[in-house]
Amino acid sequence: NAGVTQTPKFQVLKTGQSMTLQCAQDMNHNSMYWYRQDPGMGLRLIYYSASEGTTDKGEVPNGYNVSRLNKREFSLRLESAAPSQTSVYFCASSRLLAGGLTDTQYFGPGTRLTVL
Amino acid sequence: DAKTTQPNSMESNEEEPVHLPCNHSTISGTDYIHWYRQLPSQGPEYVIHGLTSNVNNRMASLAIAEDRKSSTLILHRATLRDAAVYYCILKETSGSRLTFGEGTQLTVNP
């Protein structure tokens, strides 16, 4: 199993450019998530998808859109990049733990994005 | 979301036990206590979780106070590879979000 994979690993954009960050998981998980992490801070949730076909806003959704393409793939799009979106972006997926009442999240390696 | 409070940083020596504290005085009855850690330049990884009883797994132990207002992650023998930021997170049901604080930066000295 590859787990959670993200592409690209690094990206530099100019202000106003657009791009899509790709995320895929091969663990048959229902839920997927996009977080951003700014230097010296914890992760903040951008969007999540509890199941295929559904998406919901997280803590910091402004400036982003998402698509849950199928059960495996969850993409994050920046329509018009701004310097404030310079960050490390992590994708995650989750599986239920024993008992079925809570779950654990598995994270990808991250995409390091710089917006000039 | 109920909040957690952790020390900003802690230090340990290699092969000694480490006790990482977490306060969560506003925890609700349905909140699970989850611990994740983030090694340098990597995504977070799950460490352990519990509800009321103490828990052990191959990575660590979790000790939960009787009133559930605090918990302690225990690494029994720290290694250099355990140097990471450790996050204590309260989580409701499955499929719900993780709310990360700033965590505890653990330094392990050789």
Residues A16-42 have pLDDT tens digits of 999 999 999 999 998 899 999 998 888
Which residues in A lie closer than 8 A to residue B49 (C-beta atoms)?
A: 97, 102, 104
pLDDT, tens only, B83-98: 999 999 998 776 677 8
- Pick from A44, A102, A107: which is nearest to B45 by CB? A107
| Residue A3 dihedral angles phi and psi, to the nearest 5° | 80, -130
What whole-number distance in Å separates Cα of residue A90 and Cα of residue A75?
Answer: 11
Bigger pLDDT: B102 or A17? A17
pLDDT, residue A20, reads 97
Contact flag B97-A50 (C-beta cutoff 8 Å): no
Bond prior to A61 in cis (omega within 30° of 0): no
pLDDT, residue B97, reads 78
Q: In sequence order, which residues have a C-beta less than 8 Å from that of residue B62 and are 6 or more positions away?
A: B33, B35, B48, B49, B50, B54, B55, B56, B71, B72, B73, B74
Interface mutation vs chain A, best among B89, B94, B96, B99, most A CBs within 10 Å: B94
Query: Residue A61 burial by CB count (10 A; 0-12/13-18/19+): exposed, middle or buried?
Result: middle
Where do runs of H (alpha helix) occur along chain B? none
Which residues in B lie closer than 8 A to residue A58 (C-beta atoms)?
A: 97
pLDDT, tens only, B35-80: 999 999 999 999 999 999 999 999 999 999 999 999 999 999 999 9
CB pairs under 8 A between A and B: 67
pLDDT, residue B78, reads 95
What whole-number distance in Å separates Cα of residue A74 and Cα of residue B39?
Answer: 24
Query: Taking residues A67-79, what's their average pLDDT?
Result: 95
Instruction: Find, in chain B, the residue whose alpha carbon is nearest to that of A46.
Output: B97
What whole-number distance in Å separates Cα of residue B13 and Cα of residue A100?
Answer: 37
What whole-number distance in Å separates Cα of residue B61 and Cα of residue B75?
Answer: 7
Answer for the pair A25, A93: CB distance below 8 angstroms, yes or no.
Answer: yes
